[in-house]
Chains A and B, each alone.
Chain A
Amino acid sequence: MSRELVLHEIRRAIAGAAGLRGRSQLPQRPQPPSYGDRRIDRFTERLEAHACSWEAIGGLDELPARVLAWLEQRGLARRMAVAPPLMELPWPEGVHRHAGAAGIDESVAVSLAFAGIAESGSLVMYSGPNSPITHNFVPEFHLVAIRDEDVSDSQEGIWAKVRAHGGMPRALNLIAGPSRTGDVEQTIQLGAHGPRQVHVLLVRAKGVTS
């Protein structure tokens, strides 16, 4: 009812402005950027620009050891939310991990990115059973694995990949660095409500497939 009411008002307004209805011509969009051989360099440069840390790993099977070393350097407990595709990697005994939603006291999450964007240094997370949304926002420390072949030049490459993957999930999250705010005197402060640190594990060779 209210839908028809509002649409009626819009139609009346368009009809009242002479020539408006026929003028709908979508413009040419500028070409999205393309980085050629420098795609991964651009990606890691932009990661750093957004205050992410990163390291390259040779395959996903190296991931558990690298994650545990990163946690140990910071004195963090071996307790984490882990994306289901990464649960079955060769984790050592005594690492407490679960694949459910992140809870209020969750400190660490380890995720697998759907894709990356070289243009902006963004990680793209495609929500679903294999990638809970809360893992991206609730923990203080977010470790994200991404395969280098999944890094696109631009956002436009991601949209094509999403369309090919069966369309939009509940949440497609483009993440560029740890959370931040400038709301107190325009001073940028990291760790507003989301993660305080984002660490990227760039998988150089093919690992296990999810």
Chain B
Amino acid sequence: MKALPGSFDSRAEAALADPSLQKALANFKPLFVAKRAAAVAELPEFERLRDAAAGIKDAVLCELDVWLERYADKVESLGGKVHFAKDAEAAREIIRDICRKAGARTVCKGKSMVSEEIGLNEVLEEDGYRVVETDLGEYIIQLAKEPPSHIIAPAIHKTREQVADLFAQNHPGRPREDSVAGLVNEARHALRERFFQSDVGITGGNFLIAETGTSVIVTNEGNGDLTQTLSRIHVVTSGIERVIPTLDDLSVFLRLLARSATGQDTECYTTLSTGPRRPGDVDGPEEYHVVLVDNGRSKMLAGRFRDMLRCIRCGACMNHCPVYGAVGGHAYGWVYPGPMGSILTPLFNGLAETYDLPNACTLNGRCQSVCPVRIPLTDLIRTMRNEQVKAGLMPASQRRMMAAWGWVARQPGLYRALERLGSRMMRLRAGRRGALSSLPGAGAWTEGRDLPAPAGPTFIDQWKSRGREQ
């Protein structure tokens, strides 16, 4: 997908002023966090599973070429076809070519973030195919002509009323449904025929197993399974970093994924697909293609952001992020929102265009504390800020302030004197309440909250006076 127009600032401001979005976010925030916590509490080995998962990913990344070759050879020995795409354009061309050769008319899609990343729908629609998103969340935003705002719950920003409006506009001849059950049923009916008409079915691939040449998806709705089973051709889109060695390794990740993502012990459907239909089978696709997308991932492998390639796209980081919870996913401007997006988007789309993203973070570390593959997200966000400074992207005013602070910090006497002065002035100004409701130069910060004044003398002064007492 193309990056959304505007800056993070302007999009975030719009998000904060959007009552429907704020209602949707208020509804979602506590749910995911509580459900994950409950699911994790029931599995005592959860922390050890996180260690193992991070270890498996690290080991694979060290020999990624070897594992990919093993995987690809296995797929092809079972009658599948593996395509390697160096970038988004190459990936789009491969899939367009598959659709063209198939003489396709209808293309059904299960949820795939890689297909969003490479902007697949737009080009397939330009080519004249009927492209149907079949995950309910993706279907809703396809009708609304919006990008996803969350990687596992793409329509999380929509209220029930908004979904009802969209369905009423797009499903003529049906009475308006308002209940959740009615809306889900309506989508079921609307999509049923599409599944049976589908020529090419495109799904993601959560994991690729080298041992067996298998691609794995996990879903709750069953749409990914109908998509890949009823279409004549099944196309899997996946990043090159998704390969793991064996089925037993898969179990480690499956125990983490659903608990981290939705707080379920397992999703409803875990589907392992290997090659096309076999002789004697009465159903299943006649062709099976896997499109492995690099699109900047091999560059990440060499550099300071390699840990990010462990990501299994569960969404726990954004579910626990206070900034995401306040502004939602669209403010981040591209496919991947929240903490993982603040690292991935600059890497995929360039540092200059995405300056705000790593800075829209309080470094509170909640994301890192829940990441199932222990990606040091706050460290990586800090590293990303560092890269921005090195690339000369920090605004001049900020650079001057940091330089001034740096100079003062290197003069201990002056630094302490200024600190003492500042502390005293803040205490004086705060008065008996002990808090400041406004601060020169930080008006935006104090607009929404008070700043507690320092409680007493500075640490250094206390250290000195207590030292004398002992």
A residues touching B (Cβ–Cβ < 8 Å)? 2-3, 5-7, 9-14, 16-17, 20-32, 46, 49-50, 99-102, 104, 120, 122, 127-129, 132-134, 136-138, 154-156, 159, 162, 167-187, 189, 191-195
Residue in A12, A30, A168 whose beta carbon sits within 8 Å of that of B214 in the complex: A168
| B181 pairs with A189, CB closer than 8 A | yes
Residue in A16, A102, A173 whose beta carbon sits within 8 Å of that of B269 in the complex: A173
Q: Give, as a whole number of angstroms, the nearest-CB distance from A197 to chain B.
A: 13
Task: Enumerate chain A residues within 8 angstroms of B58, measured Cβ to Cβ.
Answer: 23
Task: Enumerate chain B residues within 8 angstroms of A179, measured Cβ to Cβ.
Answer: 220-222, 268-269
| A176 pairs with B65, CB closer than 8 A | no
A24 to B59, CA, bound (A): 4
Residue in A156, A176, A181 whose beta carbon sits within 8 Å of that of B184 in the complex: A181
CB closest residue in chain A, given B83: A2
Tell whether B7 is near chain A: CB-to-CB under 8 Å.
Answer: no
| B271 pairs with A173, CB closer than 8 A | yes
A128 to B229, CA, bound (A): 13
Residue in A16, A133, A170 whose beta carbon sits within 8 Å of that of B302 in the complex: A16
A29 to B28, CA, bound (A): 33
| B247 pairs with A183, CB closer than 8 A | no
Q: Give, as a whole number of angstroms, the nearest-CB distance from B2 to chain A.
A: 24
A184 to B222, CA, bound (A): 16
A155-B254, A182-B153 known; A193-B134 Cβ under 8 A: yes
Q: Give, as a whole number of angstroms, the nearest-CB distance from B324 to chain A.
A: 15
Q: 19 A-B pairs, CB-CB below 8 angstroms?
A: A2-B84, A5-B84, A9-B86, A10-B68, A14-B301, A26-B245, A122-B266, A132-B281, A134-B282, A169-B278, A175-B268, A176-B266, A176-B267, A178-B268, A181-B220, A183-B140, A184-B180, A185-B24, A185-B159
A191 to B24, CA, bound (A): 23
Q: Which of B2-23 contact A (CB under 8 A)?
A: none
Task: Enumerate chain B residues within 8 angstroms of A23, measured Cβ to Cβ.
Answer: 58-59, 62
Q: Which of B260-292 contact A (CB under 8 A)?
A: 262, 265-278, 280-284, 292
Task: Enumerate chain A residues within 8 angstroms of B55, measured Cβ to Cβ.
Answer: 25-27
Given A26-B59, A185-B160, 4 more A-B residue pairs with CB atoms under 8 Å apart are: A3-B84, A12-B298, A187-B180, A189-B184
Task: Enumerate chain A residues within 8 angstroms of B83, measured Cβ to Cβ.
Answer: 2
| A137 pairs with B226, CB closer than 8 A | yes
| A27 pairs with B51, CB closer than 8 A | yes
Interface size on B, residues (CB 8 A): 103
A12 to B303, CA, bound (A): 12
| A192 pairs with B184, CB closer than 8 A | yes
| A172 pairs with B84, CB closer than 8 A | no
Q: Which of B349-375 contact A (CB under 8 A)?
A: none
Q: Give, as a whole number of angstroms, the nearest-CB distance from A139 to chain B.
A: 11
Task: Enumerate chain A residues within 8 angstroms of B63, measured Cβ to Cβ.
Answer: 14, 21, 24
A26 to B277, CA, bound (A): 33
A129 to B117, CA, bound (A): 37
| B220 pairs with A6, CB closer than 8 A | no
| B52 pairs with A27, CB closer than 8 A | yes
| A120 pairs with B266, CB closer than 8 A | yes
Q: Which of B185-221 contact A (CB under 8 A)?
A: 185, 187-188, 191-193, 195-196, 212-214, 220-221
CB closest residue in chain A, given B191: A193
Residue in B163, B196, B220, B265 whose beta carbon sits within 8 Å of that of A184 in the complex: B163
A168 to B213, CA, bound (A): 9
Task: Enumerate chain B residues within 8 angstroms of A178, measured Cβ to Cβ.
Answer: 268
A104 to B393, CA, bound (A): 57
CB closest residue in chain A, given B292: A6
| A181 pairs with B86, CB closer than 8 A | no
| A159 pairs with B248, CB closer than 8 A | yes
Residue in A7, A29, A154, A195 whose beta carbon sits within 8 Å of that of B65 in the complex: A7
Task: Enumerate chain B residues within 8 angstroms of A11, measured Cβ to Cβ.
Answer: 65
Q: Give, as a whole number of angstroms, the nearest-CB distance from B320 to chain A.
A: 16
| B271 pairs with A177, CB closer than 8 A | no
Task: Enumerate chain A residues within 8 angstroms of B223, measured Cβ to Cβ.
Answer: 192-193
A177 to B269, CA, bound (A): 8
